Amino acid sequence: MTQIKKGVVAGKSLEAIKKELLERKKELEAQLADLYQMRNAAVGEVQDTGDQAQSLSLETLKISLQDNEIAEYNMIGQALKMIAEGTYGICIECGQPIAERRLKLYPNATRCLVCQEALEDSTGR
Ligand SMILES: [Zn+2]
């Protein structure tokens, strides 16, 4: 028996993708909450000078880590918005589906690889 697939982007249903994104979003929220807590705790410990230099580099590391999480969190937020609007996974330039591999890396991608490269080529000149 062959099943007719409806609303499928790159072999997966939007519902499944949305579920994955929501789960990842929840994970990131928990991680960010942890990072904030660690940061607050670290700030509390460093009050009376001492080895401040070491604490500072640790602090920088945590902040850059947090930046990555926040960046991913924002991408997921945008992707969920695009799913709601029905534009997720569709290239805004050519209207073709965006490759799943690309969407895995950039869930908020608005262009397929071909159009993205064409854009980068034209702006790079
Ligand atoms: Zn395209």
Residue 81 lies in a domain: yes
Tell me, yes or no, whether 68 and 120 share the same domain: no
User: 79, 24 in Cβ contact below 8 A?
Assistant: no
| Residue 21, number of CB atoms within 10 A of its CB | 19
pLDDT digit string (tens) for the chain, length 125 residues: 444 444 444 556 899 999 999 999 999 999 989 888 887 787 666 555 555 566 667 677 666 778 888 999 999 999 999 999 999 999 999 999 999 999 999 999 999 999 999 999 987 65
> Structural domain of residue 116, as residue ranges?
89-125
In eight-state DSSP terms, residue 96 is: P
* Count of structural domains, the chain: 2
Calculate how far, in angstroms, residue 95's C-alpha sits from the geometric centre of ligand 1: 6
Residue 97 lies in a domain: yes
Pick from 75, 65, 79: nearest CA to 32? 65
Angle at 55 between CA 50 and CA 61, to 5 degrees: 170
One-letter amino acid at 25 equals K
Calculate how far, in angstroms, residue 31's C-alpha sits from the geometric centre of ligand 1: 34
